[in-house]
Structure 1
Amino acid sequence: MPDFTPLDFTTLPLKDADFAASLGPTVVIIPHPDDESLGCGGLLALLAQAGLPVWCLLISDGRMSHPHSVKFPPAARQALREQELRDALRKLGLDSHLLHTLALPDGSVPGPEQATGAAAVGEIRRFLRQAGAQTILCPWRRDPHPDHRATSQLVQAALQELPQPPRLLEYLVWAWERAAPADLPRPDEVVGWRLDIRPVLAQKQRAIAAHHSQLTNLIDDDPGGFQLSEQMLAHFAQPFEVYLDSR
């Protein structure tokens, strides 16, 4: 058991929706298509409403949600999931042309210590330099999915090489459902807060619904394929989102 009291997400201070505009031009880092809508779809919609540019970087190819499907072989799954992501971004009010994909292997995103990971760090760094954003949205560093953790490590390595790195805000996906006590943020490493997303909650739900392959039996020939559960989805129907602000 940890010798500290983990943050209680539901009691964190609540910031007004107007706060989103203060974050300026933003890059959102997306391990898999749907993480953007689940973890920070409300904030993305608020940024779009404020007229701020949002660049999107998709890390994995998204192929492993239904690995045994014959109707949707790997290339078709990748294309489907990327199209769902573009549809979701449009529903959030974002320009889907500002999406860049790395196509790293879903389920085995490499860390920066691996050759393919080191190459990805360089590409992420170039992308961030070109975007020139003030804020980066990235999954929580100990979010309990290995691809999310590897994604965080790649981004952290890229930021270390930038002379003036953008503000880093970390968002939650699987930490709501699967986090062990040691996975949760410590009060001394981040400042946590909630963002009121009531003005765009319905918009966020429409973006989540755009990921049909993760919510329905669209891919119906892989009984072991992934679907988001109602219990999981309930966390993302709340009128707020949680952000962890790195110190």
Structure 2
Amino acid sequence: MPFRAGSRHVYPPTRPRCAVRQSRKSRRQRSARSLAMKGIDLNGVRHAVIVAPHSDDETIAAFHLICALRRRGARVDIVVVTDGSASHRNSASWPKPRLVAERRRETMRAMAMAGVPRDRIEFLGLPDGGLRSLDRRQIETALVGLRQRPEPDLLIVPSVFDDHPDHRVVARLCERAWPKCVKRLHYIVWPDRQNEARPSYCDLAIAGCPLRKRLVMRRYRTQTGIITDDPAGFSLMPPMLTRMCRSHEHFAS
């Protein structure tokens, strides 16, 4: 699903004092958010689970966080819910089996750069783009797949406010799979700028990581331009990558 760019604001050459005060206020607010972001307590987290609706969401949403957890010695499990086959449905050179296999390899390569071994990554293989149409049996299969690991100290899952329908379905599945997990963080990959309903955010920032994250995102070749024979296919364009590879990642508790 394409990212909706926000409106561009053009300021006059000379800003009035009220605009300067507002700018200073905005800087103070951003600084306060940065302080809140550094206040996320990862002490005592020995086991974290990151649930990604699609291969690449784990990196877009939480690469910095995963790196921080691994540096602290925490076990990190990655659960990728869908098979990722919907990004290029019409590609002749990348039929579904090849695309699904490559998207899994992309996640494993990217997570290796964050220190997560392959045996800590699980792919549930549910239909990409079709989670809203799951029948009861498929839902139960998904819940079993999510529940089969010990309850984590920290759960990182999509937000119900994400604009992508698969992400919203996964968010609700996680609520059912781990109803008692107290410490959890919610993330939004695709924001809906028309909807003001948002959980209040805290942020986690790791200084000096944007370039590294961008390099890791290039591991997802199928999502960054290698497939050229599907005009309707999805690709992460440079403006999207810039937004997704900033020095901070947003989470809501």
TM-score, normalized by the shorter chain, greater than 0.5: yes
- Indicate the percent of aligned positions where both proteins have the same amino acid: 25
Question: Of residues 79, 85, 92 in structure 1, which corresponds to 2:107?
Answer: 85
Determine the C-alpha separation between the residues in 1 that align with 2:140 and 2:134: 5
**Residue aligning to 2:56:** 34
**Residue aligning to 1:195:** 204
**Residue aligning to 2:241:** 233
Question: Of residues 179, 186, 189 in structure 1, which corresponds to 2:193?
Answer: 179
**Residue aligning to 2:175:** 156
Between 1:166-175 and 1:199-208, the stretch displaced more is: 199-208
Give the paired residue count. 224
Q: 1:135 offset after TM fit, Å?
A: 0.6
Greater RCO, 1 or 2 (C-alpha within 8 Å, sep 6+): 1
Q: 1:111 offset after TM fit, Å?
A: 7.0
Determine the C-alpha separation between the residues in 2 that align with 1:201 and 1:18: 19
Determine the C-alpha separation between the residues in 2 that align with 1:74 and 1:112: 19
TM-score, normalisation: structure 1: 0.82
Q: 1:18 offset after TM fit, Å?
A: 8.2
Deviations 1:190-240 (A, max 9, x none): 442111121433332222111011112x21211111001222222222211
- Cα 1:147–1:125, aligned 2, differ >3 Å: closer, same or farther? same
- Cα 1:13–1:23, aligned 2, differ >3 Å: closer, same or farther? farther
TM-score, normalisation: structure 2: 0.80
Determine the C-alpha separation between the residues in 1 that align with 2:249 and 2:44: 16
**Residue aligning to 1:204:** 213
Contact kept, 8 Å, 1:110 with 1:117, in 2: the verdict is: no
Question: Of residues 76, 80, 87 in structure 2, which corresponds to 1:54?
Answer: 76
Unmatched runs of 5 consecutive residues or more in structure 2: 1-25
Contact kept, 8 Å, 1:194 with 1:241, in 2: the verdict is: yes
Determine the C-alpha separation between the residues in 1 that align with 2:60 and 2:43: 20
The amino acid of 1:64's aligned partner reads A
Q: 1:24 offset after TM fit, Å?
A: 3.6
